[in-house]
A and B are shown apart, each in its own frame.
Chain A
């Protein structure tokens, strides 16, 4: 009898062993496989042959090469040219950026729930290839046109939201061991989506949109353009202190008359301005398929360094109307402004991913164009397009004129640095061809010694537009 009981106790003890083995292999397996201490998870990730990232013409931006022990590592043939957009993936360090991060699930290939139950059956997993909307030649043109100046270029297809160019200088070497870590050369800061620029006069497009679409103004409405005027209790002057007398809204945009647009913004009012800004995408993270941690919302920053809520009485709406007053925008946001006007007032959601193709060559996912918002009526957009065309034909943006193609644009020149230093932040927003837009672009240069949007940024925009339009876009 005691021996029988002893055996029963041993059976119970062994059942306990089987139960605990079940606990680790089945019940808790999923959470254990995801435990951050678990290096086996890292090994299985290193053994996945991540898919390629390609430009729209098939140029390989990222691919996997064998790294021994059946593992793979990433190589970026185009390096710093596409580093900001493509990003990098360093599994061992647990860090990643750009599309490598946001398109990770596609690049790793689809994971089925079964694999967690039956162990990692697929030991030779191959991820899917991601075709981006990026234009290799346009990107190169942007890099060359910037010519080493700090700044960024963003170009969109206004009709479907495809991001054609996203270049930020300085870029970085994403083939480096720990490209964004200490001692790394270059900058992982993507100006196109993360920078806080004062837009200056390019923002007058937003003010003009609200003015026209609300019905308060027409392109021919005349407003007193004398200088200076008092805005929020502080004098505001035009460039060079010039008094323009009564001028139409069209002329005011063509020659970027500050006092007129300040008055327009004040009459449109804080609430309505905030409303239009939201439709353009301000106050929200850009709806881009890109890591949220590498983007910021364009908004208005108060003197205390904190964001002012939309429509708040704290806003100096007159100065906001001319792109000052604490406005803080990303180049991507300003490209979206141009794209909305270009597409008849309809803002398309910007996207970097075009389609996902599996290792067998079949397209498993296509990003179809989607409408972000109807910012303004087609009529208002048409009127604004004509006004912006004047800017390029006879106003501040003549430097961007292209032979045989009409360009609609707006210059911006924000003063930065201490008073009297004569430092500016030139920018230019445009789209072309004006009558049938195929490209919308924003060019922003960090700083210039006395340069203007029309003299520093517009030529860069011209070079990129030429390249993109020459491809039949």
Chain B
């Protein structure tokens, strides 16, 4: 069977998911069943088929599982978002259309994605610039104690970090391709670890500086952790040196500890993480209300969940929202509430399969830029999932990043479709038969 036919078959789980999901929500709201709602599912599957056809014609050799896995995640996401807020589900669907347009545009424009290398300094400068935008007075948006988004008239909030992460990966893939040799030669062995020469710690220092800058300027631990983790993964794959990772992690831990004790917002997040059920913190502004209620929601879900549409998100008879931001930051808690431990674990397995396929593309790639690019893009998704799910499950302090392809959020959807396009481009080139 050809790769593309396997991809087409792979869309069956996504279609079943979207059908079963919407059916579940409809049964729950038996009083508001309408064919309008059913159309959502159909339109959604139509969009997936269009994307499949585009891939079939432009990237015939690309990995056949990446897109179906993303489709499954996205279909699942739209059902959950619909269940939480039908209006937002419609807007999410609109963002999907825009995302797919950019997906196709990326494939068409960057068919030879290696030409991105030419603009690497432009790309990195642009990425860093837009990362800082939320802090600019007048256009930045301050919410929940962090500068996460900028205001765009007509579009609402725009989260630049979703796009900046791609730019930084492209830059670092190109930069490391050139310098990896330098980084591994020389150096001394200390305590069984080969440390590179001091001067070559430059790249780490730069990445570290960016991560710390995000924390200091934007108070945004989530993005900081996500970008740093992703870039560190690339550094490791480029050099094969565990010492970079250890030094990098130590430096990050040191910086995070210092900032965690000195920046009020970051400190508050850490306190909320450590003592979510302390009534003082629970009732405080920027307190642990969100994390605590996210955990209560998970506890309500139990092993098998309460079923689609059964989670209590608003206190009956009031407008009081029990979980703040259920469709974005806390969507994992809602999913666990309704589908239980097994549903949540299944979702994580889908991500893990996606990550496995992304890294497979990196392994198969024939040049180190492609390998590093695929590694970086995949690692970003992996760490983004870890940061938000880890935050909701109290593995790490809760910070606001989206659950890729599942959470409500225009910037996230669009940026991640561009990311997927790049991953498919790398994969297509890697699997293209050698002529």
Binding site for B on A (CB under 8 A): 1-3, 5-7, 10-11, 13-14, 16-18, 20-26, 28-29, 32-33, 35, 37-40, 43-44, 46-47, 67-71, 116-120, 123
Contacts and interface: CB of A to CB of B under 8 A. Distances in A.
A20 B395 contact: yes
B390 A6 contact: no
Contacts of B355: 7, 10
Given A26-B303, A40-B300, A119-B300, A17 B389 contact: yes
Interface string B374-400: 010001001001100110011100000
B382 A13 contact: yes
B348 A25 contact: no
Nearest to A24: B298
Contacts of A118: 302-304
B140 interface: no
A32 B345 CA distance: 20
B292 A37 contact: yes
Contacts of B389: 17
Given A6-B233, A13-B382, A119-B304, A25 B299 contact: yes
What bracket does the count of chain B residues touching chain A fall in? 35 or more
A6 B375 contact: yes
Contact of B341 (A1, A10, A25, A38): A25
Contact of B379 (A5, A6, A22, A37): A6
A24 B393 contact: yes
A14 B386 contact: yes
Interface of B: 233, 236-237, 240, 277, 279, 282, 292-293, 295-306, 310, 312, 315-317, 322, 336, 340-341, 344-345, 348, 351-352, 355-356, 359, 362-363, 371, 375, 379, 382, 385-386, 389-390, 393-395
A29 B395 contact: no
22 contacts: A3-B363, A6-B233, A6-B237, A13-B386, A18-B348, A20-B394, A21-B298, A21-B345, A21-B393, A24-B295, A24-B299, A28-B299, A29-B302, A35-B296, A37-B277, A37-B296, A39-B322, A40-B297, A67-B316, A71-B317, A120-B302, A120-B306
B279 A37 contact: yes
A69 B314 CA distance: 10
A22 B341 contact: yes
B339 to A, nearest CB: 10
Nearest to B311: A40
A17 B393 CA distance: 7
A248 to B, nearest CB: 68
The 10 A-B pairs at the shortest CB distance, nearest first, are namely A69-B316, A119-B302, A32-B299, A20-B393, A24-B298, A25-B341, A29-B299, A38-B296, A2-B237, A71-B316
Contacts of A116: 302
Nearest to B349: A14
A92 to B, nearest CB: 9
A14 B379 CA distance: 13
A26 B237 contact: no
Nearest to B233: A6
Contacts of B312: 40, 43-44
B316 A70 contact: yes
Contacts of B359: 3, 6-7
A17 B390 contact: yes
Contact of B345 (A1, A18, A39, A47): A18
A27 to B, nearest CB: 10
B348 A119 contact: no
Given A20-B393, A28-B299, A6 B236 contact: yes
Given A32-B295, A32-B296, A119-B300, A26 B341 contact: yes
A323 B217 CA distance: 79
A69 B317 CA distance: 6
A39 B289 CA distance: 11
A415 to B, nearest CB: 50
B336 A10 contact: no
Nearest to A16: B395
Contacts of B279: 37
A16 B390 contact: yes
Given A40-B300, A119-B300, 15 more contacts: A6-B375, A17-B393, A21-B298, A25-B298, A26-B303, A37-B277, A40-B312, A43-B312, A44-B312, A67-B316, A69-B316, A70-B316, A119-B303, A120-B300, A123-B306
Contact of B301 (A2, A10, A17, A25): A25
B329 to A, nearest CB: 15
A13 B362 CA distance: 20
Nearest to B351: A14
A7 B356 contact: yes
A28 to B, nearest CB: 7
A5 B379 CA distance: 12
A129 B76 CA distance: 43
B135 to A, nearest CB: 30
A315 B51 CA distance: 95
B347 to A, nearest CB: 10
A1 B371 CA distance: 12
A17 B306 contact: no
Contacts of B394: 20, 24
Given A7-B356, A118-B302, A119-B302, A1 B240 contact: yes
Residue from A14, A16, A24, A28 with most neighbouring chain B CB atoms (10 Å): A24
B349 to A, nearest CB: 8
A17 B359 CA distance: 20
Nearest to B363: A3
A116 B300 CA distance: 9
Contacts of B344: 18, 21, 25
Nearest to A67: B317
